[in-house]
Amino acid sequence: MERVWQQDYQEGVPYEIDADAYQSLPQVFDHACERFADRDAFRCMGASLTFSDFEARARDFAAFLQNDLGLQKGDRVALMMPNVIQYPVALYGVLRAGLVAVNVNPLYTARELELQLVDARPRAIVIVENFCATLAQVRGHTSLEHIVVTSLGDMLGFPKRPLVNFVVRHIKKMVPKWEINDAIGWRDALHRGSSGKLAPPTLDGGDLAFLQYTGGTTGQAKGARLSHRNMIANLEQISAWLQREEGREVVITPLPLYHIFSLTANLLTFVKHGGTNVLITNPRDIPTFVKTLRSEAFTAMTGVNTLFNALLQNEDFRKLDFSQLNLAVGGGMAVQRAVAERWQRLTGTPLIEGYGLTETSPVVAANPLNIESFTGSIGLPLPSTDVSIRDPEEGHELGADEPGELCVRGPQVMDGYWEKEDATAAVFYEGGWFRTGDVATIDDRGWLRIVDRMKDMILVSGFNVTPSEVEDVAVMYEGVMEAACVGVPDPEGGGELVKLFVVPEAGVELDVDSVREHCRANLTGYKVPRQIEIRDELPKTNVGKILRRALRDED
């Protein structure tokens, strides 16, 4: 449709961006490190890393990958870390060496980790030792040749480094026993790379930068192929929309950097503009999180609805100084009006809601920064972005305020899924239109609203949960004949929670707690069913297909 939404753009936001403003992501990093050399790029657990040191450590790691590990342009490297300074250093090093980053959720179970590593086939992985026991279980089934292991405190300097590592290992006992005989230490890798020569390969926008995994609607997660141009395009779109002040911003980064939202909106965006990312390693520890906020004059923060809600419940958070805060962005899941209104009353800053997907690098639309209060809309399409609301059955475009499938076209949209041609073909219309699977409306001025989700995907605190994956795990449990999984409203934090329906085999009495423990042993925490209901039968079509929507509608 015609870009009517541009009439409501905030002053100064261009209609188009230059997706070729940079040749590659390393060029973005190089430019920022040169311009803001003495400024802190990252702070975490009381330590800091300037842009100059960020560049130097990443160069060392890139040289290590090239010279010591012999990795070649296009090889994949998995990154399995929470928010610690090692992550951006490793990421910059990977990209600078012409390699492809494969982000991995560090909370994966062995089964989940094996599935992703087998699919992506990385030659190397950088992993925090807390998760090495999981990797050790599956390493023999993967293509991994090299394992670089770091400890949480490895970038904190002396004497904090050994102290933190001792506490994590021996006091808090957060590191399960593991054994990987050929593992290489992070600090050793940097030391070895510091004496090596880096030969950066020539990169262009079409080269692959990330395999970013997203939950599939029918089974195993798929790797979205995100090129350097995809990521740079979205980076330019976000930069144009936010109009950040150069070299002065301090952004709080609590969402994991392995998630596409935090990766682009926080790490890449604020590095580009010389901002400081304050990395929160464990945002679930609200008291420690708030203690960190108390010591920072932060100007920006991103999060999901559940996180904002948890902070608002904390008495010490409500006592903080918000005088420097000028930007708060909610993404990953719908922002609740009650949470947004309470946030604005407390901080004086509106909560800006946006919308995106892994396949779109991720941002498609956002509310303008000049809104005075919560709109309940996901806002307007970003510059150089086209949207179309289409009939999901016929594919033709619908009119204003008619609900249909939201389809997106723009330079930030992936070219497809990794080695899955059929899955790629299923999500694209002719002309490069990506089918989001979300039901939306657009009004006559171009404001978008999400109405429903066509696909069965469950959204838990910004993370996708594939119903069939939970069901497959459930029926592995002895005595379970059938299972169906749906998302139901979460009464505590908004969004959704996972509900599982199971049918026992004849004569079997199932114990709900035992089924849940089985799921917990095989699924990441956010995928584990919060509610489990035992039934005699499940609703089905006349051909025997389980009707998840009927179960969801009951709730």
pLDDT at 216: 43
Residue 542 has pLDDT above 70, yes or no: no
Q: Pick the range with the lowest mean pLDDT from 207-211, 371-375, 410-414, 551-555.
A: 551-555
Q: Domain residues of the chain, as ranges?
A: 14-354, 458-554
| Cβ 334 vs Cβ 489: under 8 Å | no
Residue 543 has pLDDT above 50, yes or no: no
15-21 contacts at long range (C-beta below 8 A, 24 or more positions apart): 15/383, 15/384, 16/383, 16/384, 17/233, 17/236, 17/237, 17/240, 17/383, 17/384, 17/411, 18/236, 19/205, 19/229, 19/232, 19/233, 19/236, 19/384, 19/411, 20/205, 20/229, 20/232, 21/232, 21/236
How many whole angstroms separate alpha carbon 97 and alpha carbon 126? Answer: 15
pLDDT at 395: 92
Residue 432 has pLDDT above 70, yes or no: yes
> Taking residues 529-539, what's their average pLDDT?
93
pLDDT at 220: 67
Higher-confidence position of 104 and 547: 104
pLDDT tens across 225-246, in order? 999 999 999 999 999 999 999 9
Higher-confidence position of 372 and 554: 372
Residue 218 has pLDDT above 50, yes or no: no
> Taking residues 301-306, what's their average pLDDT?
90
Structure confidence at residue 11 as a pLDDT band (50, 70, 90): very high
Q: Does domain 458-554 have CATH number 3.30.300.30?
A: yes
Structure confidence at residue 545 as a pLDDT band (50, 70, 90): low
The dotted CATH code for 14-354 is 3.40.50.12780
pTM: 0.87
How many whole angstroms separate alpha carbon 496 and alpha carbon 386? Answer: 29
* SS3 assignment, position 339: helix
Structure confidence at residue 482 as a pLDDT band (50, 70, 90): confident
pLDDT tens across 317-335, in order? 999 999 999 999 998 877 8
Residue 130 has pLDDT above 70, yes or no: yes
pLDDT tens across 72-114, in order? 999 999 999 999 999 999 999 999 999 999 999 999 999 999 9
Which of 327-336, 390-399, 464-473 reaches the highest mean pLDDT?
A: 390-399
pLDDT tens across 336-363, in order? 888 899 999 999 999 999 999 999 999 9
pLDDT at 544: 57
Structure confidence at residue 305 as a pLDDT band (50, 70, 90): confident
pLDDT tens across 493-514, in order? 778 999 999 999 889 999 999 9
> Taking residues 364-385, what's their average pLDDT?
95
Angle subtended at Cα 126 by Cα 51 and Cα 74, rounded to the nearest 5 degrees: 85
What average pLDDT does the structure give for the chain? Answer: 94
Which of 72-76, 221-225, 489-493 reaches the highest mean pLDDT?
A: 72-76
Distances (CA, A) of 225 to 384, 413, 416, 417: 20, 9, 6, 6
